[in-house]
Amino acid sequence: MIGYLYPLRTYLIIGGSIEKPNPMTADWVVPLSFNPPLLGVAIGKKRHTRKLIQEQRDFVVSVPTIELLKDVWTAGTISGARENKAERMSVTFVPSERVKAPSIKECQANLECRVVNEVETGDHIFFVGEIVNVTHGDGFENEKPAIKEYKFVMHVFSGPNFTWQGDEIIKP
């Protein structure tokens, strides 16, 4: 039934450390508060990422572009419990400024989060993260995305079915 909410934007959640990063693809990412700046991510109980976040209490939400789609697919189809998927990916992991979980250089934004709450929601754990630092590329200026400059990733429906936005801005 959740399928009726799609298309949704697609992100990468990075857990672990710069020595051993574990990126996981996630559509279920939601803004929660401006002040303090909070966001939520729903992570399946069976995911390796769920375990890493519960141990380390931090994570990074990275905003990929459509050029990174192969890596997005790798991060979303291989579990870090079984192999070091970061080694299969072409992106560069770089240290974050305020959290242990690393950022991704090629992503248009990296939102560094500390866990302030977690709620069990059925088969997922909903982590509430306070955004303690953000780094970004030239696809953003003053928190505004330059959608003519970069192509964000949108998941149209379950499986390998993605698109990116047009660059038309429509006013109501």
Ligand X SMILES: Cc1cc2nc3c(=O)[nH]c(=O)nc-3n(C[C@H](O)[C@H](O)[C@H](O)COP(=O)(O)O)c2cc1C
Report yes or no: 47 and 23 within 8 Å, Cβ to Cβ.
Answer: no
Residue 110 to residue 130: CA distance in whole angstroms: 13
Using CB under 6 A as the binding rule, whether residue 62 contacts ligand X is answered as no
Using CB under 6 A as the binding rule, whether residue 44 contacts ligand X is answered as yes
The residue within the footprint of ligand X, chosen from 48, 100, 114, 151 (CB under 6 A), is 48
Tell me if the bond preceding 31 is cis, omega within 30° of 0: no
Q: Rounded to the nearest whole angstrom, what is the least distance from the CB of residue 76 to ligand X in the complex?
A: 3
Q: Rounded to the nearest whole angstrom, what is the least distance from the CB of residue 108 to ligand X in the complex?
A: 17
In terms of CB distance, is 37 or 76 closer to ligand X?
76
Residues 73-92 that bind ligand X (CB under 6 A): 76-81
Only segment of 71-79, 98-106, 126-134, 136-144 that touches ligand X (CB under 6 A):
71-79
* DSSP category for residue 75: H
Residues 13-42 that bind ligand X (CB under 6 A): 22, 24-28, 42
User: What element of type H or E holds 8?
Assistant: strand 8-9
Joined together, the tokens standing for residue 81 give 């419990």
- Residue 46 falls in which region: left (phi positive, over 0), alpha (psi -120 to 50) or beta: alpha
In terms of CB distance, is 48 or 114 closer to ligand X?
48
Whole-angstrom distance between the N-terminal and C-terminal Cα of the chain? 29
Using CB under 6 A as the binding rule, whether residue 114 contacts ligand X is answered as no
Which residues here bind ligand X, judged by CB under 6 A?
Answer: 10, 22, 24-28, 42-44, 47-49, 76-81, 155
